[in-house]
């Protein structure tokens, strides 16, 4: 769901960059405050390791057969928020997206503010406290909460993309058609991400109560998983365009015919 610069106008890009910068500044202040007791170094290590895992996991595109020729990948905002807290999760996701943009040309520089807002601010600062935490408290566990919050977060992010494209008015995509493609496919991707997130969090919760398991062991496990995914499993990622690229192609084809 990484937006390219061709989809947005400079005005929208600048506005979303400003909105994301404000959110990042708030998150940084919150992390500094909350880390006063545990130490910022401990928090930074946890952010780095879990961020590496999510970075690697985003490389693993999976096909969606029912949609035909489209793939998706997890975003990881809800997973990071559940593991780290909302503020550290946003900082971690922002770092991931910045590296992807600057080093791998995955997402445009003008669109970086949009991508941080859609994939970081929405799931970490909005959906996590509004959906995940109440459900986790109600059902006494992260399973259902992770599944629901991931689907909601990805769908909300996809809708934000359609609004940003609409307001920009530079891509020439018909809003109704673009939205009708973006929302269903990203809901399906969100459901898959939700199941994966629920499984990971339930595993972490289960092992956390074992005296033989420590936070350090959990971080080592995430680091090893990141290496395995990034160095091996990513080779088997689907070659089909992701949900955003597929939606843009389909909506552009409809617009050309009209």
Q: Which fold has domain 5-257?
A: Arp2/3 complex 21 kDa subunit ARPC3 (1.10.1760)
pLDDT value, residue 229 = 72
Mean pLDDT of the region 222-239 = 72
214 pLDDT above the threshold of 80: no
* Reported confidence tier of residue 254, pLDDT bands at 50, 70, 90: low
- Residue 183 CB contacts under 8 Å (≥ 6 apart), including other chains: 155, 158, 159, 162
* Reported confidence tier of residue 37, pLDDT bands at 50, 70, 90: low
* Reported confidence tier of residue 188, pLDDT bands at 50, 70, 90: very high
Against a cut of 0.85, is the pTM above it? yes
Q: Read off the pLDDT of residues 83-120 as tens digits, 9 standing for 90 and up.
A: 999 999 999 999 999 999 999 889 999 999 999 999 99
CA-CA distance, 200 to 51, in Å (whole number)?
Answer: 15
- Residue 128 CB contacts under 8 Å (≥ 6 apart), including other chains: 77, 78, 81, 82, 86, 89, 149, 153
Q: Read off the pLDDT of residues 125-160 as tens digits, 9 standing for 90 and up.
A: 999 999 999 999 998 889 999 999 999 999 999 999
Look at residues 101, 247, 105, 144 and name the one whose alpha carbon lies nearest to residue 186. Answer: 247
Residue boundaries of the structural domains of the chain? 5-257
The span from the first CA to the last CA of the chain, in angstroms, equals: 26
pLDDT value, residue 216 = 66
Token digits for 240? 């089909």
pLDDT value, residue 230 = 66
CA-CA distance, 91 to 13, in Å (whole number)?
Answer: 19
pLDDT value, residue 189 = 94
């Amino acid at each position: 769901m990484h937006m390219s610069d061709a989809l947005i106008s400079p005005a929208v890009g600048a506005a979303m960059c400003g909105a994301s910068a404000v959110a990042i500044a708030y998150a940084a202040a919150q992390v500094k405050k909350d880390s006063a007791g545990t130490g910022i170094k401990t928090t930074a290590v946890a952010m780095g390791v879990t961020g590496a895992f999510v970075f690697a996991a985003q490389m693993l595109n999976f096909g969606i057969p029912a949609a035909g020729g489209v793939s998706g990948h997890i975003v990881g905002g809800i997973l990071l928020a559940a593991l780290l807290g909302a503020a550290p999760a946003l900082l971690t996701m922002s770092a991931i997206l910045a590296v992807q943009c600057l080093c791998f040309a995955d997402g445009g520089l003008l669109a970086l503010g949009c991508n941080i807002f859609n994939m970081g601010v929405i799931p970490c600062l909005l959906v996590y406290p509004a959906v995940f935490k109440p459900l986790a408290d109600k059902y006494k566990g992260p399973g259902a909460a992770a599944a629901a919050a991931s689907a909601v977060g990805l769908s909300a992010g996809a809708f934000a993309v359609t609004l940003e494209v609409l307001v920009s008015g530079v891509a020439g995509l018909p809003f109704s058609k673009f939205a009708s493609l973006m929302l269903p496919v990203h809901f399906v991707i969100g459901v898959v991400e939700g199941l994966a997130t629920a499984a990971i969090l339930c595993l972490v919760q289960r092992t956390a109560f074992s005296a033989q398991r420590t936070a350090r062991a959990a971080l080592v496990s995430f680091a090893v998983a990141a290496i395995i995914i990034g160095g091996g499993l990513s080779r088997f990622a689907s070659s089909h365009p992701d949900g955003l690229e597929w939606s843009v192609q389909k909506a552009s084809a409809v617009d050309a015919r009209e």
